[in-house]
Structure 1
Amino acid sequence: MKLAHAMIGIAEITGRRAIALISDMSQPLGNAVGNAVEVMEACSVLNDTGPYDLTSVCVELSCAMLELGDPSKTGCQVKQSIFRQIDDRKAFAKLMELIRNQGGQFHEDGRIAFKEGGGKNDFYLAERAGYIEKIDAELVGKAALALGAGREKKEDAIDYRAGILFSKKVGDEIKPGEMIALLEAADEKKIELSKKTLDEAITISDTKPKTLIRHILGKITKDSEEINY
């Protein structure tokens, strides 16, 4: 909240209009954490097959941007326009255009050709029955870093294929041996290091936790504040 108000204040000082959205940070947004896996997930959102939480936040952010561009339009009008762009695949076509313009490569069937990397896969499995109570987003980021999806030092190379793909979210019931996530890296040692971090990141409880109905919890502008916890 402090950061949101600070950013709105900076925008006002510089003569800019701004909208701050307060989002849920109790777990990673969407299912993918990494480089290639997140690009593929972005494609799924624009093909209307993406995770509900990620799609919801993307639509609300797009609404805010379009409202800033044309204050005369209502939220409902803007949202309808966004869904039309997804339904007629114009939004997806624009993403493909951006990738081509930046030198991205494609397979003959139209799929994005990602850089070489990864190569080793393994599952992160539930050790006991229960419910996913929490997935610490910061620790998940460190788990992805252990796979090679980011840099610890400036000179480190990034493995663009490395990453995590979750199959369970907060509130989901799990059984012993059931898959919680799929991990990919260049070697098995990195995967084992990542698993140890996920052990700390994921909390399993005996009772089903309360989950949020909304993924956007508030909206702040210069003149108003709406909080929907």
Structure 2
Amino acid sequence: MEVRTLIERKRNGGRLSAGEWRVLMNQYAAGEVPDYQMAALAMAIFFVGLDRDEIGQLTNAMLESGARLHLDHLAVGRVDKHSTGGVGDKVSLVLAPLVAACGVAVPMMSGRGLGHTGGTLDKLEAIPGFRTGISIQEAEALLVRHQCAMLGQTSEIAPADRKLYALRDATATVESIPLIAASIMSKKLAEGLTGLVLDVKRGSGAFLPELDRGLELAKTMIALGADHGCPVVALLTAMDRPLGRACGNAVEVEEAIMALRGTGPADLMAVTYALGADMLVLGGAARDRDDARTRMEEAIASGRAARLFQAIIEAQGGNPAVVDDPGLLPQAPARALYRAPRSGTIAQVEPRAVGRGITALGGGRTRVEDTVHPAVGFVITARPGDIVREGDPLATILAQDQNGLDAGRAALDLAIRLADDVDDADPPLPLISHRVTGAGVECWDDGR
């Protein structure tokens, strides 16, 4: 197959057939198509797009390029959750053990940081010894034993997507809806799910900031799920400010542990409960979302969810003692308070600037081969709308050294914007704005 011809045809607005997508993805996974040609095709897709049938064909081609989990023998529903990416978004760390503790199997397959956003795998690997690179067979055994496995995309699962995922980050084609949808759904469908819940971020820190594009992505993935008999529900949530207070790998694990103990920040808990409710309903473990919320609150209050997280950590090679003593997580050697430079109202805490600041501290990657320092990051206590006085602490910088502290201050100077008066600050987006299903779009009711 002449790949150059396919690139040229797509560049000019033409279509690729299902057979061409299948051969192309198989050859790319096998190393027979070079990255530079796939990069050119990704850029053509970015500008020209794919029609609905092509998105489905690309999804199927990436799905069929590898193996799948076999979970039909499980007696409970199998539901995963996916976030389109954010800053401070540690929801997956809380949801996986919480939903599993309530009676649904959760094969939580996650990725690494992409662009300015953090990655669940990097957060999990901040736990000393934790292995995310487990095989399909290990994941299946964990799901039998604990109803939960927290893993990365193995070389066996959708290998064409695994290569393309890294290439998109390096070629500035992350924001393409067809590529996002096909990437997410090829991995999730390989898990043998009976349901999927999506957290589609909107706002300045999201890959797709605009509401209409977030809704388009949600509808696209819901349709792809329907093609494969996998019901999908999407919530649109705010990413015009970080979620929770902790931003960085180890500190986000600590905040997730706090959430499982019942002391997590209110915004983190609201998003967690909302997503978890749909997971439990899809998985057949709750009658409705209110019943699901009650079950999750009980699992946290009884300590059952935290104990299951501890068991998962131990089963995947990590130190389970971190759940009882988060001080065993990596600790930053240099810390400093970031204080308000003047009095005023917090007008904005810009998540992209925070995410880039974490990378500058060494907590993210600019190249695939970069080493991540798990202890660095920020704990940001300032929230949009807060009235502060000059000198009030707004955040804590966690760094490796003095140079890191300086880089952290520079990042927060850009991220935290002060206004003279509360009326000068734009109101933040609603934490949860819409719920999307195969039946359509509904506005979120009362933040339930």
Residue in 1 that maps onto 2:360: 146
Deviation, 1:222, is: 0.3
Q: Distance in 2 between matches of 1:54 and 1:108?
A: 20
Moved more, 201-210 or 142-151: 201-210
CA 223–173 in structure 1, closer or farther in 2 if over 3 Å, else same: same
Deviation, structure 1 residue 74: 1.3
Deviates more, 1:38-47 or 1:117-126: 117-126
Distance, in Å, in 2 between the alignment partners of 1:61 and 1:163 is 26
The offset of 1:76, in angstroms, is: 0.9
List aligned pairs for 1:1-229, cutoff 5 A.
1-70=215-284, 73-105=287-319, 110-112=324-326, 113-115=328-330, 118-208=332-422, 209=425, 211=427, 214-228=430-444
Tell me by how many angstroms 1:188 deviates: 1.2
TM-score by length of 1: 0.92
The CA distance in 2 between the partners of 1:98 and 1:191, in whole Å, is 34
Tell which structure's C-alpha radius of gyration is larger: 2
Q: Taking structure 1 as reference, are residues 151 and 225 closer, same or farther at Cα in structure 2, changes over 3 Å only? A: same
How far is the alpha carbon of 1:125 from its aligned partner?
A: 1.3
Q: Deviations over 1:65-85 (max 9, x none)?
A: 111112871111111111110
Shift of 1:171: 1.1
> 1:25: Cα distance to partner?
1.4
Kindly tell me: are residues 221 and 71 of structure 1, through their superposed partners in 2, closer, same or farther at Cα, counting changes over 3 Å?
A: farther
Mapped to 1, the partners of 2:259 and 2:325 lie a distance apart of 15
Helix, strand or coil at the partner of 2:235: strand
Give me the whole-angstrom Cα distance separating, in 1, the residues matched to 2:314 and 2:322.
14
C-alpha distance in 1, partners of 2:351/2:440? 29
Question: Identity over aligned residues, as a percent?
Answer: 29
Bigger relative contact order (CA 8 A; separation at least 6): 1
Q: As a proportion of its length, which structure holds more helix?
A: 2
Preserved contact between residue 130 and residue 205 of structure 1 (Cα < 8 Å): yes
Higher strand share: 1
- Give the CA deviation at 1:210: 6.2
- CA distance in 2: counterparts of 1:107 and 1:61, whole angstroms: 28
Q: Once the 2 structures are TM-superposed, how far is the Cα of residue 156 of structure 1 from its aligned partner?
A: 1.8
The TM-score normalised by the length of structure 2 is 0.48
Output the amino acid matched with 2:231.
R
Residues 257 and 323, structure 2, Cα contact 8 Å, conserved in 1: no
Larger CA deviation: 136-145 vs 102-111: 102-111
Unaligned runs of 5+ in 1: none
Aligned alpha-carbon RMSD (Å): 2.1
Which ranges of structure 2 fall in alignment gaps of 5 or more residues? 1-214
